[in-house]
Amino acid sequence: MKVETLDHVLVRLRAALEHDDLVAAAAVIESLQPADQADLVEELSGADQVALISKLDPADSADVLEEMEDQEAAALAELLPPADLADILDEMEMDEAADVLGDLPAALVAETLREMEEAEEVIPLLQYPDDTAGGLMTPAVVTLRREWFAQQALEVLRRAEPDADSAYYLYVTGEGGRLQGVVGLRDLVVALPEMVVEALMDPAVISVPVTADQEVCARTLSRYGYVALPVVDEDDRLVGVITADDLIEVVENEATEDMYRMVGITGAEMVFGPVRASVLKRLPWLAVNMVTLFVAITVVDAFERVIAGMVALATFLPLVSGQGGNAGSQTTTVIVRGLALGEVTSRNGLRALSRELAAAAINGAIVGIGTGLAIYLWKGEPVIAVAAAVAMVLNFLVAALAGVLVPLGLMAVKVDPALASAAFVTGVTDTLGFLFFLGIASRLL
């Protein structure tokens, strides 16, 4: 459904709620797909959300909560009576239910679990953080034994009636539930009834530990092209499965988080969120940028007499520092992305640095010579032209050096490279860009 259509639907939904016609409001919501339902519910006030959710069937309400943003879903769940919330969570995927409960106050969680019929399946998931394999996995997994015949395995599968996505891969476990292999559903269906599972399974199954970070899980799934990933504990026992749809939102959230952090915003920020929240998220790194800029200003201040003797120098200061900052941002973006995807590590950091320095030398020479010629043709000042050209080359090299070493250094001290790299790299290129340009010009004068 198009966004314009949803806007009109929202008008009808609000009109029904204003007239306390919950039947009509529920009918409006039920006519939509879950993703569209969630978008509209998020636009309503808390009171309207509670009234509408209470009117919907628990299964429909479960679809809405699953599609809502985590913070919005938790805020709505906190407003619902524990008994109603329990009915909804019983209809949700267990990993999704655990995510909602994990964001609620402990007292409400305890009361809701007492009301839930599926509490025993959700409780084990609550011990794992949301951003780990344990927090993402679905624990209900149909497993096979290697000594079973294909016909026997299919009978077990029929009786279990697993979800379509969870049955695409069937995992083989041995003594103590230890993971031994994987069988594709198609291979099992087309196999002769008397074939044993061991002959059908692939023993080289890729798994992730229950404590693995969600980014590691997403990279693993993408690297091997799977649609599901088994999760094992420290004893290699199968404890759950992560499906591709579980990681789609993870990839989106991680990309959004890195995008925000690259510009110094700590945490996700909504366009129409509270102003106070925006200030608190943006202010810390604006303060850091201010400090780095003061360092750059002290360099300019040290060359006050040189600038006074040739005022035209001041005109081109932003050019040298700005181009260096742009080059640094490019390098930083490439390296931070490489770190996030596991392409760049401490082991191959020097190779990445040599590559970036080579690119910086070429780009710096081309841009520097072009800049020097433009300045000479415009101002007729050979000193400024040469100083700008040389400073540009040097600043591009510094940008490459800082763009690689700063993210690697931050990662080594357990600081997110995406959060702090831009501020430090920009500070370095501004400061040294001014120093190179004014220092060279002062020598040539």
Separation of alpha carbons 129 and 99, rounded Å: 9
Q: Are 310 and 383 in contact (CB under 8 A)?
A: yes
Q: Which one, of 131, 138, 140, lies nearest residue 217 by Cα?
A: 131
Instruction: Evaluate if residue 395 carries a pLDDT over 80.
Output: yes
Kindly compute the dihedral angle of the four CA atoms of residues 91, 95, 100, 101, in this order, to the nearest 10 degrees: 100
Q: What is the pLDDT of residue 369?
A: 94
Residue 34 and residue 7 share a domain: yes
Specify if 391 maps to a domain: yes
Specify if 242 maps to a domain: yes
- Could you give the 3-state DSSP secondary structure of residue 68? coil
What CATH code is carried by the domain that includes residue 315?
A: 1.10.357.20
216-275 pLDDT per residue, tens: 888 888 888 888 889 999 989 999 888 887 777 776 666 666 666 655 555 555 555 567
10-57 pLDDT per residue, tens: 888 888 888 888 888 889 888 888 888 888 888 888 888 898 888 888
Residue 105 and residue 223 share a domain: no
Residue 180 and residue 109 share a domain: no
Instruction: Evaluate if residue 420 carries a pLDDT over 70.
Output: no
User: In what side-by-side order are the strands of the sheet with 143-144?
Assistant: 143-144, 169-173, 179-184
Task: Return the exposure string of 417-445: e unless at least 16 CB atoms fall within 10 Å of the residue's CB, then b.
Answer: bbbbbbbbbbbbbbbbbbbbbbbbbbeee
Specify if 268 maps to a domain: no
Residue 436 and residue 327 share a domain: yes
Residue 201 and residue 175 share a domain: yes
Q: Which one, of 290, 303, 335, lies nearest residue 444 by Cα?
A: 303
Q: What is the pLDDT of residue 270?
A: 56
Residue 433 and residue 297 share a domain: yes
47-101 pLDDT per residue, tens: 888 988 888 889 899 998 988 887 888 889 999 999 999 999 999 888 788 888 8
361-378 pLDDT per residue, tens: 999 999 999 999 999 999
Q: Are 49 and 14 in contact (CB under 8 A)?
A: no
Specify if 262 maps to a domain: no
Q: What is the pLDDT of residue 4?
A: 44
> What letter does residue 383 receive in the DSSP assignment?
H
Q: What is the pLDDT of residue 256?
A: 66
Please give the model's pTM, rounded to 2 decimal places. Answer: 0.59
269-319 pLDDT per residue, tens: 555 556 776 677 677 767 777 887 788 888 888 888 888 778 888 888 888
